[in-house]
Structure 1
Amino acid sequence: MEGADSLSLNTSRTLSDWLALRQQFPILSREVKGKPLVYFDNAATSQKPQVVIDALSHYYSYYNANIHRGIHTLAEEATMAYEATRDAVRDFVGAAEREEIIFTRGTTEAINLVAYTWGRKHISEGDEILISGMEHHSNIVPWQILCAEKGALLKVVPVEDDGSLSMSAFHELLSERTKLVSIVQVSNALGTVNPVKEIIDAAHRAGAKVLVDGAQSAVHLDIDVQDMDCDFFAFSGHKVYGPTGVGALYGKRELLESMPVFQGGGEMIKEVSFEGTTYADLPYKYEAGTPNIADTIALKAALDFISGIGKAQIRAHEDELLAYATAELKAIPGLKIIGEAAQKVSLVSFVVEGIHPQDIGVLLDNMGIAVRTGHHCTQPLMKRFGIPGTVRASFALYNEKTEIDVLIAALHKTIKMLT
């Protein structure tokens, strides 16, 4: 097998550079069940570099305070750090204005925010919402709830055998009745990269708005919401080497200003009386109550960490890992990769004939290898492929080819044990 010293072939960074980056993630030095940890569950959540951990600790150790409403020093320092993250997110996704960035708990809450505000205002009986057959449950269920409430129709663009989206079917399903297209940019179960710019252009010509689920794409792809021209874009901090419980929704200013409020309470108001309430300007109109201050502050450290390396270099490294893993997995008898679209990120899902994915996952864990098994919150997609679930190995900037070698050897051993 090819060795880890080839990692620098497609990047300007040397092997020692990548190893140094890896050493910035403390958890990767631990053992699991007596074996060195091999972490291939990055599509579920990425590990955190020391700078992110330090940012969390520093906030709680030195300037823990509530934000926006205090005039004392700690409150002012916390507010400045919190709002600096909004600027970092604006730059990270290419938004025009910081007011277009709404902090949420993650992608799921961001999608629900749009469904409960824009959706309730603009979706009526007989209208149609268009999603794809590869959506995460968080981009299915909110629209089902909305359609049931409004008498609207949810339509689904089918997935081809190779895991790509049927663009011919998309164009056929798109009509003047389509009011919203909500589409994942990168499939969390297949790794497929969807042609969102083509989708957005077509949807806009039909008069529809577009929400892009960027939970998986934000860490791998360059995101420019202005060039993309999406109406909404959502992503989660914990998948971009940041903390859990924080994410962001981008929305075009004119849309956000026209939408009703999401939650009521402190911070999202200008004035409150028993006779009525006036609401705050963007972005605070959608940020009721005390937010997740510490994790939001630490999110900036994660985005700065990615920017400091460069997504182009990270993508080249991850693409090489994906190509290597794909070739090695295909050589295993009885193993079938689910999702082989031409455009993919560093994620590979597979099944092994006659073996349940969970059994493989348990035995791999006994060897110190963390993969994800199951339906990956994409039950309709698993049904489309006629399987209960897959084994999913997903790669990040800190992974190495030698770890893939460990996975391949472990799979050979596992399959032998289970057959």
Structure 2
Amino acid sequence: MRDTLALVLALLALASTHAALCQPRYDTYIVVRNTRGEVVSHLVEVYVEGCAVTRLNITHFALRLGNRSAALVVVKDGAVVYEGNLTPPGEGRVQLVEVRARLQHLTMVIEGLPGELLVVVKYADVTFSRYTKGAVELRNVPYPVNLTVSVPRAGYSATLVYRGEEVVRVRVRRPECNVYLKFYDALLRPLPARLVNVTGARPHLVNETHVGLKLSQPAKLELYVRGVRVTEVAVAPPRGAFDVKVVEVKLPVGPLRVLAPPGSTVEVELPSGVKLSAECEAGEVVFERLPACRLLVAVRRGGAFVSRHVDFPGALTISVGLEGEGGEGDWLRLLAAAAAGLSAALAAASLARSAAPKRTAVKRARRVRVRRRAREEAKGEGGGAEGSAKPLDLGDMTGKDLADFITKLKRHRAEVEKLRRAGALGSSGEGQR
């Protein structure tokens, strides 16, 4: 009895093991195709939730699903091209699942290329580059995806959303301007481009900092500021069709600082006829961005008016005073008249002292010499006094003339002091005798 029971148990265990060994290893097989129906299993990765997926060959994936459902995801180049669910095939059955992934062959037509240039296409984790004259073919491109197309030689780059089209056209435009001019003033400060008028070529683009030109051959450009020609520039276009050239130009343009009496009005006139004016409140006025030329500067206050021509090099400070208002000129005239009167008085005093009689022979020789010298100086000073009696015109005297005049006065004063000392010594000697 016991032997029979052991034999039955052994047979049951053998039967269960045989059944397990007879069951298939995989119950689900997967094939991936693109939108055209072509098998692309070798290009993608397949993931099933909770299952280990095995790549059997270049066309099939295999897995054992069992009696449960699972999510299926297909990925190519880092982009998800399919999402779905797998259902169990049933007990003891095997199923084949075909998946249509979002993969498409793309022909990209690039218009506007002057020749064979390098084209770079990027999407997801893929970078594709090729030299071409007008078209690029890409196979099994996932969609939707952001597609970036760039032509480095042309400086072109654009990003577009690819939604599975078979043909995409891209237009590469040449730069609107191939030469840009940037201006600086005499102090190397950026100069607004709107102040500069360019002749010799038609400006295609003018903004706050640059003037754009479209040149096909070298050109000589004349630059004008406020209607005055300031310089001439020779510019050659870049060699490449997509190259851009920036030319920095320093112009003789800058500030004019005018020092004038407070409360006056300062006017500046350019050779082109442009007039600028400003009120002088703090003793100076600054006119910015004036071109180098010969300027007419005028200052007026009330009934007084003065004007002068100034050669402006690009940055300058000048001082302009008013005439006819009783200012510094009148004060200098009074000073000159007072100095002339003082010199005449000193000459007369020296003549009066030199005319006193001398009593001793000891002092006579010395006093005769002093008297003779005093007479000679009196003659000279007498002529000077007579000349000084004439009215002095400050307009005819320069600063050097006035300095020489003051120096002569000082020398004359020293001579008079010597005469006074000599007279004092003579009088003291006579008292002792």
TM > 0.5 fold call = no
Which has the higher relative contact order, 1 or 2, with Cα contacts under 8 A spaced 6 or more apart?
Answer: 1
Quick check: which one's helix share is greater? 1
TM-score range (shorter-chain normalised) is under 0.3
Larger radius of gyration: 2
TM-score w.r.t. length of structure 1: 0.19
TM-score (normalizing by structure 2): 0.18
